[in-house]
Amino acid sequence: MKNTDRLFGLPEEAFRFTVPRKGLITKMEIRVLSLSKLDLRPNQVLWDIGAGSGSVGIEAARLVPDLSVCAIEKDAEDFQCLLENVATFGLGSRFRTIHGKAPEALKGVPRPDRVFIGGSGGRMGDLLDACVEGVPVPGIVCNLATVENLSEVLQWAKSKKIDPDILHVQVGRGQPIVGLHRIEALNPVWIVSLSPDQGMSKEKE
């Protein structure tokens, strides 16, 4: 690991994550945009669902004073990486790590002000329902890599009369090749933001 002292936009190499499943860590460019969409404030509670290596929650905690993070991950290897990364960055006092499946394993934890969903385990609708069952309703940001998950989130938003903010991100990184450079594309991602104040706009009369 390296560059752990960087203020913002930590590279993937700053985190321990499972190999060869490198595609499952939130890439730096996507992480930066997702954190912007979360619009976090000091003393809030952030749920990081499908936390993986914990890169989003860790970066958020480093940026926002007194932010409390509840990070949940069901995969045993990824959860071990999460624990090691939280320790590396010295954030244990503000992190609650849960090895289990959401939403059941989130019972009893403090209600969130913000929610980041990086993995759904095929239960996107259940997760979203669990996020909004309390009052006040939190702001939610989802990172989606498949059209099926995108469709499910949009259908859920429509049922709740929420007008989603949708950002489609395609990032290319320069890579050296025989003394020159080419662009290597990363997997495209949808960043969908769901906020209680994003009510469905009224049709024009």
Mean pLDDT of 3-8: 77
Confidence of residue 196 (pLDDT cuts 50, 70, 90): confident
> pLDDT exceeding 90 applies to what percent of the chain?
81
Residue 39 has pLDDT above 60, yes or no: yes
Percent of the chain that is helix, strand, coil (3-state, to 5): 30, 25, 45
Q: What values do phi and psi take at 180, rounded to 5?
A: -115, -170
Using CA atoms, how far apart are residues 51 and 84, in angstroms rounded to an integer? 13
Which residues are bridge partners to 91 per DSSP? none
CATH class of 12-194: alpha beta
Using CA atoms, how far apart are residues 52 and 57, in angstroms rounded to an integer? 10
Domain ranges of the chain: 12-194
What are the C-alpha distances in Å from 178 to residues 73, 125, 169, 186? 41, 48, 28, 21
How much is the pLDDT for 199?
59
Confidence of residue 157 (pLDDT cuts 50, 70, 90): very high
Whether cis (ω within 30° of 0) applies to the bond prior to 103 is: yes
Confidence of residue 6 (pLDDT cuts 50, 70, 90): confident
Whether cis (ω within 30° of 0) applies to the bond prior to 110 is: no
Mean pLDDT of 179-198: 91
Which residues are bridge partners to 139 per DSSP? 114
Mean pLDDT of 166-188: 95
Q: What is the pTM of this model?
A: 0.91
